[in-house]
Amino acid sequence: MSGDRLKGFFKKYIVDALSHMALGLFCSLILGLIIGQIAKIPGLDFLQFISDALSATSPLVGACIGLAIAHGLECAPLVIISSAVTGALGYEFGGPVGAYVSVIIASKIGMLVSKKTPVDIILTPLVTTLVGGLIAKYCCSSVYDFMIYLGSLVNEATKLNPFLMGITVSVLVGCALTLPISSAAICIMLGIDGLAAGAATVGCCAQMIGFAVISYRDNGIGGFVSQGLGTSMLQIGNIVKKPIIWLAPTLTAAILGPLSTMVFKMTNNYLGAGMGTSGLVGPLATFASMTQAGATPGLLITKIAILHFIAPAIIALFIHFLMRKNTGNPVFNRDFTKNPPYPFQSSWEFYSAVRDYVDYIHIKDCKQVNNGTGTEYQYPGEGDGDVRRVLKDAFERGYDGGISIEPHLALVFHDSDNENHDEKMMRTYLEYGRRIEKLVAEIKQEIGK
């Protein structure tokens, strides 16, 4: 199989299928959990029958998984409808992973015969259902047992080494949530439970709340809510362009994982492990799981608030702040790491060390005069600040952020004793702006952008 075909296969049957499987799980099993918690509110117990119908033993869960996967694979209508049956059968014999396997195979075979004969309305659902049923009965139980075995290894390893596994589970599941695959589906198929599920939940919260707070300045309240209560997957395009932005939420997950397993001893079940704060499922599942185990509701709510919301926000924002902190103006400062007489710092050397962290470019340029004892400010690209070289490299690396100017030619803003006429300042700024526009255009033309 060629590289392109392998990528296409992985995207369709792993990434897309798992993502749509998560939709099916959310509309059935996870929704049942939420309604079950709502039904515990006095006066709303009449809703309990819906939660019971969507319980972990209900074939409706498998049917929803089947419909969601087949729809995500863009199957023909008869194959999609038949996949509700194959999903239910797969779920009966092999749980969520059984539904996944049986629907993937049965829908593929069903599409081979779909719309190929005059009796399509009979043949297509017949073939799809027969194949899915046989796969479900004779293959899915062993696959399910294997996945549960892997999950049990993770669960037991977390009990034996809560520090290392707390970090590992929190980071990996959190990253899976942000990637275009389903952390929820993975946790449910593996049966992640107990301390491991608690760490997984914290890792997902770190990604969602972390991205929500560090991007608030750019995305506003809409982006904050979409990421904090929806999904951090919205950031995947930005991560591809600039992977470094993933560092703050991921380090936050690494910090909170062992705190969850060793200090707060948070647990959860497989339903909420991979959901984070999406629809508040992670916190709700944590509350349901731990109160059933005897936790005090009031104290538990405090723990959930700290680990799922407050700590992720504060830690991610702090790490992000350290990454964005003011780096000064290197070309105007001495480099004391070199030998005396200390030379001025190299803008290019400094930029090369921090370019992966650059979110914004602020330009002023100068030449060193009087044997390096003074500075003479210049138009952009005419001084010793390596302006052209820095901008060219930034554009080649895909930089598309803002650029501001600080001419210093008519007025040095940090020197209150140096005053000039307003018109001179205006002319200088306009000319400086025109020159930076021309420089940017020349560089982009040179690199073909």
Distances 220 to 204, 240, 317 between C-alpha atoms, Å: 21, 22, 15
The total of structural domains in the chain comes to: 3
**Mean pLDDT computed over 175-199:** 88
List pLDDT tens digits, range 148-161.
899 999 999 999 99
Paired residues of 194 in beta bridges: 268
Last residue of a domain, one of 293, 324, 355: 324
Residue 3 shares a structural domain with residue 135: yes
Let me know: does 284 contact 297? Beta carbons within 8 Å.
no
Mean pLDDT for 338-362 is: 78
For residue 1, the model assigns a pLDDT of 56
**Kind of pairing, strands 361-363 and 403-405?**
parallel
**Do 323 and 219 contact (CB within 8 A), yes or no?**
no
**What is the distance between the terminal CA atoms of the chain, rounded to a whole angstrom?**
35
Report pLDDT for 415.
43
Question: What is the mean pLDDT of the segment spanning 189-214?
Answer: 94
Q: Average of pLDDT values for 96-100?
A: 91
Return the H-helix or E-strand segment holding 404: strand 403-405
Q: How confident is the model at residue 373 (pLDDT cuts 50, 70, 90)?
A: low
Tell me the pLDDT tens digit for each residue of 132-150. 999 999 998 898 899 889 9
Q: Which residue has the higher pLDDT, 365 or 168?
A: 168
Considering the domain architecture, whether residues 171 and 141 belong to the same structural domain is answered as no
* 186-196 pLDDT tens trace: 898 899 999 99
CB neighbour list of residue 232: distance below 8 Å, 6 or more residues apart: 177, 178, 207, 208, 210, 211, 212, 249, 276
Using the predicted structure, report yes or no on whether residue 420 has a pLDDT greater than 80.
no
pLDDT the model gives residue 212: 93
On average, the pLDDT of the chain sits at: 86
166 pLDDT above the threshold of 80: yes
Q: Are residues 278 and 370 in the same domain?
A: no
In a domain, 143, yes or no: yes
Check whether residue 118 and residue 82 sit in a common domain.
yes
What is the model's pLDDT at position 417? 46
Instruction: With respect to residue 156, please indicate whether it lies within any of the assigned structural domains.
Output: no
Cβ neighbours of residue 1 under 8 Å, at least 6 residues apart? 9
Q: 80 or 376: which carries more pLDDT confidence?
A: 80
Mean pLDDT is lowest, of 75-84, 100-109, 418-427, 428-437, for 418-427
Is there a contact between 47 and 39 (Cβ–Cβ < 8 Å)? yes
311 with 166, same domain?
yes
Asked if residue 430 and residue 392 are part of one domain, the reply reads yes
- pLDDT band (50, 70, 90) for residue 321: confident
Residue 106 sits in the same domain as residue 191: no
pLDDT of 326 reads 46
30 close to 281: Cβ distance less than 8 angstroms: yes
Could you tell me which of 167, 176, 163 has the C-alpha nearest to residue 208? 176
Q: In this structure, are 312 and 335 located in the same domain? A: no
H helix and E strand count, the chain: 20, 4
CATH number at 383 reads: 3.20.20.150
> What is the band of 334 on the pLDDT scale with cuts at 50, 70, 90?
low
Residue 329 has pLDDT above 60, yes or no: no
Which residues is 171 bridged to in the sheet? Answer: none
Structural domain range at position 359 = 330-447
Q: How sure is the predictor about 430, in pLDDT bands with cuts at 50, 70 and 90?
A: confident
d(CA 255, CA 270): 22
Lowest mean pLDDT among 100-114, 254-268, 379-393: 379-393
Give the pLDDT confidence score for residue 309 in this predicted structure: 97
Which phi and psi (to 5°) does residue 193 adopt?
A: -145, 170
Burial classification of residue 191, based on how many CB atoms lie within 10 Å of its CB (0-12 exposed, 13-18 middle, 19 or more buried): buried
pLDDT confidence band for 332 (50 / 70 / 90): low
Residue 43 pLDDT exceeds 60: yes
Domain ends where: 151, 177, 201?
A: 151
pLDDT for position 412: 41
Give ∠ CA 372-373-375 in degrees, rounded to 5: 80
Q: In the structure encoding, which two tokens stand for residue 354, read together?
A: 């921090």
Residue 431 resides in a domain: yes
Q: At what angle do helices 17-25 and 77-113 cross, to 10 degrees?
A: 150
Q: For tokens 């990637």, what's the residue?
A: 179
Question: In percent, how much of the chain has pLDDT > 90?
Answer: 47
Q: What torsion do the CA atoms of 382, 383, 387, 389 make, to the nearest 10 degrees?
A: 80
DSSP letter string, 66-112:
HHHHHHHTT--HHHHHHHHHHHHHHHHHHHHHHHHHHHHHHHHHHHH
Q: On the CB side of 55, how many CA atoms lie within 13 Å of its CA?
A: 5
Most distant CA atoms of the chain, gap in Å? 92
Distance CA 293, CA 235 (A): 36
DSSP characters over 217-257? HHHHHHHHHIIIII-GGGGHHHHHH-GGGGHHHHHHHHHHH
Percent of the chain residues topping a pLDDT of 70: 90
Indicate if 175 and 76 belong to the same structural domain. Answer: no
**Do residues 218 and 194 touch, judged by C-beta distance below 8 A?**
no
Do 303 and 357 share a structural domain?
no
Residue 17 lies in a domain: yes
Residues contacting residue 112 through CB under 8 Å, at least 6 positions apart: none
The pLDDT of residue 404 is 86
Please compute the mean of the pLDDT values over residues 361-378 and round it to a whole number. Answer: 76
Q: Is residue 64 part of a domain?
A: yes
* Span 397-408, average pLDDT: 83
Nearest partner of 162 among 53, 27, 284, 267, judged by Cα:
267
Least Cα distance to 409 among 440, 435, 446, 389 occurs for 435
Whether 387 and 362 have beta carbons less than 8 Å apart is answered as no
Specify whether 235 is located in the same domain as 356.
Answer: no
In whole angstroms, give the CA distance from residue 13 to residue 190. Answer: 18
Q: Note the pLDDT of residue 324.
A: 66
Cβ(291)–Cβ(209) below 8 Å: no
- In this structure, the answer to whether residues 99 and 70 fall within a common structural domain is yes
Query: What is residue 371's predicted lDDT score, i.e. its pLDDT?
Result: 67
pLDDT confidence of residue 413: 40
Which stretch of 126-130, 272-276, 328-332, 393-397 has the lowest confidence by average pLDDT?
Answer: 328-332
Structural domain contains residue 238: yes
Of 324, 346, 361, the residue at which a domain comes to its end is 324
Measure the CA–CA gap between 422 and 419, rounded to whole angstroms: 9
pLDDT, residue 8, reads: 82
What's the pLDDT tens digit per position in 264-308?
999 999 888 998 998 899 999 999 999 999 999 999 999 999 999
